[in-house]
Amino acid sequence: MKIIKWLDDNIERMILLVLFVAMTVITVLQVFMRYVMQNSLTWSEEFARFCFIWLIYIGISYGVKRAKHVRVEAVLSLFKSRGKLIINLIANVLFLYFAIYATYYGFTIMNAIQSTGQVAPSLGVPMSIMYLGMPIGMLLTTIRLIQRSIYEIKLFREGKDNESPLEDEQQKLNQEQDQHQDNNKEVGIY
């Protein structure tokens, strides 16, 4: 159970960290090779592009989990807390519909690309790996939207008069992250 909780708390963050570090290291290495060694890596640009595409789609899920997506607060400010919960829930349902559609469409595109046997020119890996980023990221987004909606329904049923229903959870997540970083600093990870 602890493993599932850890994955729920950290899966997107770990994937994003690995992808960002890999993309950055390869890009810096490519610049070094091209301008200092006068010899470029043929596959680095394609690899960085693959990482960037995956970063975008996994980042959407992470943004939902952390409640960090851009919203129009002007509409929300017209309502009291329970009205805000209803508006947030409606927005989540619409976003969920889009995420489910994008997941389905992403798998459809990925399967079509896979059936052609197309490979990336420089890396030589199947192009379906690049296209898999969309359905995986949107599937994670779907899961996070369901979690967020359940949380907001729970707040609504409990009659919570929380001006920002996401702030308490966000503050809790930020405190946990700060505690995690403090623990890692103590052991010299950061």
Average pLDDT over residues 97-116: 96
The mean-pLDDT minimum among 26-35, 84-93, 121-130, 168-177 falls in 168-177
Residue 177 lies in a domain: no
Identity of the amino acid at 24 = T
d(CA 174, CA 68): 12
First to last CA, the chain: 27
Residue 173 lies in a domain: no
- Cβ–Cβ under 8 Å, residues 110 and 128: yes
pLDDT at 174: 65
Write the burial class of residue 52 (CB in 10 Å: 0-12 exposed, 13-18 middle, 19+ buried).
middle
pLDDT-above-90 percentage for the chain: 55
Higher local confidence (pLDDT), 61 or 4: 61
pLDDT digits 0-9 by tens, 119-168: 999 999 999 999 999 999 999 999 999 999 998 888 888 877 544 445 55
Locate 22 and state its tokens: 């890999």
Domain that holds residue 94: 2-167
The residue ranking higher by pLDDT, 25 or 84, is: 25
| Residue 63 located in a structural domain | yes
Structure tokens at 88: 């947030």
CA distance 160 to 154: 9
Is residue 113 a part of any domain in this protein?
yes
- State how far Cα 169 lies from the chain centre: 18
Per-residue pLDDT of 71-82, as tens digits, reads 777 777 888 878
Number of structural domains in the chain:
1
pTM (2 d.p.): 0.78
Say if 147 falls within a structural domain.
yes
Does residue 186 lie within any of the structural domains? no
Q: Quick one: pLDDT band at residue 44, thresholds 50, 70, 90? A: very high
Structural domain contains residue 180: no
